[in-house]
């Protein structure tokens, strides 16, 4: 197949690495891609959030399948334009992408579909804000309604900080005040063709910048999969109580969801609840989920894109475990330093360790770190002790001045 992957992060590099492992020999493009992706795909410098530009490229290159990685092109309607031009695309329409693009919309869909989630109040001014904060009490959960690159959510014991955060986002639109949900978090992805879903394997993400969940929220500092501590019926329960009702509700509204429904879940004392939906593969969870996928990826995504999910075999995952450690630039997430050379990636790679590039570029002689999250080191092993040893020994070989990473990924897991 001729496949175009839209995006430029470690998630997109991971998707491309998985496609390159398929038994079928695909022709791969990435737009705009990054330095690491050039090993497996041809990178095309184009504006990935511009529906017209992406569609013109896909049509003129005779692309069979477009896979959209990040949320921004989806919310901008890139999938809509591609579909109109007759191109198969894995990724929802702008209307369906509102499940991530607007937290208030997601709450409304969940309420209509009977999907368990925290109670939330949408507020649009100071008075409503204070009322809502007084109703929930501490810890306070305040969320910007729209896309905010993972920075829109604040969980805090301090009412002053909650107010400050909310007032900032109220300048741009509504803010959600949400009930605090207590319990372990799980990310579970479902492929959807608009009507049918197929689950992938659960993963856990480490969102805070530093060990022991200290420091600010980030885009994600590491992940592991599978989660040996989950109940056996976890995936089936989430499929029946969350994924299927949501997909059915979206279809009923005439905005079927085609692509990947990312269920961000909390296991509370009163059951599994949705903390958020995303409308695309998670980063860095994808790195560990796809590292364990042993059946081909392209046929699955193509089937989802063409309403044929009932006719494909469910994905198969290896018994090996996987973890990923994100190497971040100095100052990430507040003020990442960029432009520094990064070394040792070849030495760090092996049969059981792969590197997914996120923010890298060649300047002619050196490979440079060009942003906050620079690479994801992905290690597999027969258990987490083995995968940790491999992953941490590999990341130790990478040189990037001032960089940091968490040392507790998958620590103490079975």
Give the binding site for ligand AMP (CB under 6 A).
118, 141, 150, 153, 155, 178-181, 185, 207, 217, 264, 275-276
Distance CA 247, CA 205 (A): 24
Q: Is the dihedral of CA 189, 321, 1, 50 positive or negative?
A: positive
For the bound state, the minimum distance from the C-beta of residue 18 to ligand GLY, rounded and expressed in Å, comes to 17
CA atoms within 13 A on the CB side of 5: 33
Q: Are 103 and 176 in contact (CB under 8 A)?
A: yes
For the bound state, the minimum distance from the C-beta of residue 337 to ligand GLY, rounded and expressed in Å, comes to 23
Nearer to ligand AMP among residue 40 and residue 100 (C-beta) = 100
DSSP code for 242: I
For the bound state, the minimum distance from the C-beta of residue 413 to ligand AMP, rounded and expressed in Å, comes to 18
Distance CA 63, CA 314 (A): 25
For the bound state, the minimum distance from the C-beta of residue 302 to ligand GLY, rounded and expressed in Å, comes to 23
Our finding on whether 282 is near ligand GLY (CB under 6 A) is: yes
Distance CA 181, CA 58 (A): 43
Our finding on whether 259 is near ligand GLY (CB under 6 A) is: no
DSSP code for 361: E
For the bound state, the minimum distance from the C-beta of residue 42 to ligand GLY, rounded and expressed in Å, comes to 26
Q: Which of the choices ligand GLY, ligand AMP, none does residue 210 contact, using the CB cut-off of 5 to 8 A by kind? A: none
The residue of the chain with the least Cβ separation from ligand GLY equals: 282
Stretch touching ligand GLY by CB under 6 A, among 171-179, 280-288, 298-306, 349-357: 280-288
Stretch touching ligand GLY by CB under 6 A, among 53-61, 163-171, 243-251, 281-289: 281-289
Stretch touching ligand GLY by CB under 6 A, among 58-66, 91-99, 275-283, 349-357: 275-283
CB atoms within 10 A of CB 62: 9
Nearer to ligand GLY among residue 51 and residue 222 (C-beta) = 222
Contact code string over 167-206 relative to ligand GLY, x by CB under 6 A: --------------------------------------x-
DSSP bridge pairs for 185 = 266
Our finding on whether 278 is near ligand GLY (CB under 6 A) is: yes
For the bound state, the minimum distance from the C-beta of residue 275 to ligand AMP, rounded and expressed in Å, comes to 5
Distance CA 383, CA 387 (A): 6
Distance CA 245, CA 250 (A): 9
Our finding on whether 285 is near ligand GLY (CB under 6 A) is: yes
Distance CA 358, CA 318 (A): 25
Contact code string over 293-322 relative to ligand GLY, x by CB under 6 A: ------------------------------
Nearer to ligand AMP among residue 271 and residue 402 (C-beta) = 271
Q: What burial letters (b/e) apply to 88-124, b meaning 16+ CB within 10 Å?
A: bbbbbbbbbbbbbbbbbbbbebbeebebbbbebbbbe
**Helix residue spans in 221-368 (DSSP H):** 234-238, 244-252, 285-291, 298-305, 345-348
For the bound state, the minimum distance from the C-beta of residue 379 to ligand GLY, rounded and expressed in Å, comes to 18
Tell me how many residues contact ligand GLY (CB under 6 A): 6
Structure token pair of residue 334:
């507040």
Q: Which residues contact residue 121 at a Cβ distance below 8 angstroms, ignoring those fewer than 6 apart?
A: 128, 131, 132, 135, 176, 177, 178
Q: Which of the choices ligand AMP, ligand GLY, none does residue 155 contact, using the CB cut-off of 5 to 8 A by kind? A: ligand AMP
For the bound state, the minimum distance from the C-beta of residue 178 to ligand AMP, rounded and expressed in Å, comes to 4
Give the three-state DSSP class for 12. Answer: helix
* Residues 212-231, interacting with ligand GLY (CB under 6 A): 220
Q: Which residues contact residue 365 at a Cβ distance below 8 angstroms, ignoring those fewer than 6 apart?
A: none
For the bound state, the minimum distance from the C-beta of residue 262 to ligand GLY, rounded and expressed in Å, comes to 7
Structure token pair of residue 32:
């705009």
Residues near ligand GLY (CB under 6 A) are 205, 220, 278, 282-283, 285
């Amino acid at each position: 197949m001729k496949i175009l992957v839209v995006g430029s992060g470690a998630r997109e590099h991971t998707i491309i690495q998985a496609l390159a492992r398929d038994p079928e020999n695909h022709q791969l493009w990435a737009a705009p891609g990054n330095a690491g992706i050039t090993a497996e795909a041809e990178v095309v410098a184009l504006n990935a959030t511009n529906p017209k530009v992406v569609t013109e490229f896909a049509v003129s290159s005779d692309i069979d399948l477009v896979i959209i990685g990040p949320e921004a092109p989806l919310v901008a309607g890139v999938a809509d334009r591609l579909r109109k031009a007759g191109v198969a695309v894995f990724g929802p329409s702008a209307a369906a992408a509102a499940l991530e693009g607007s937290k208030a919309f997601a709450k409304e869909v969940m309420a209509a579909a009977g999907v368990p989630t925290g109670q939330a109040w949408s507020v649009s001014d100071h008075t409503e804000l204070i009322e809502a904060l007084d109703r929930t009490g501490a810890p306070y959960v305040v969320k910007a309604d729209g896309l905010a690159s993972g920075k829109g959510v604040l969980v805090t014991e301090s009412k002053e900080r909650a107010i400050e955060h909310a007032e900032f986002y109220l300048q741009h639109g509504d803010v959600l005040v949400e009930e605090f949900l207590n319990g372990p978090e799980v990310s579970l992805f479902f492929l959807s063709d608009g009507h049918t879903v197929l689950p992938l394997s659960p993963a856990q993400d480490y969102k805070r910048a530093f060990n022991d969940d200290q420091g600010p929220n980030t885009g994600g500092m590491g992940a592991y999969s599978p989660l040996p501590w989950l109940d056996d019926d976890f995936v089936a329960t989430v499929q029946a109580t969350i994924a299927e009702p949501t997909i059915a509700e979206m279809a009923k509204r005439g905005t079927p969801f085609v692509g990947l429904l990312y269920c961000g879940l909390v296991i509370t004392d009163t059951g599994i609840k949705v903390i958020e939906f995303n409308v695309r593969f998670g980063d860095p969870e994808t790195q560990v989920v796809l590292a364990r996928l042993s059946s081909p990826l392209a046929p699955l995504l193509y089937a989802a894109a063409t309403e044929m999910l009932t006719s494909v075999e469910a994905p198969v995952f290896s018994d090996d475990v996987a973890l990923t450690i994100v190497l971040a630039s100095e100052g990430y997430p507040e003020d990442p330093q960029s432009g520094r050379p990064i070394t040792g990636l070849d030495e760090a790679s092996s049969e059981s360790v792969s590197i997914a590039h996120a923010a890298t570029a060649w300047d002619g002689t050196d490979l440079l770190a060009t942003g906050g999250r620079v690479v994801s080191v992905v290690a597999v092993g027969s258990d987490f002790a083995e995968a940790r040893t491999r992953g941490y020994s590999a990341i130790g070989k990478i040189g990037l001045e001032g960089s940091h990473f968490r040392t507790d990924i998958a620590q103490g897991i079975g």
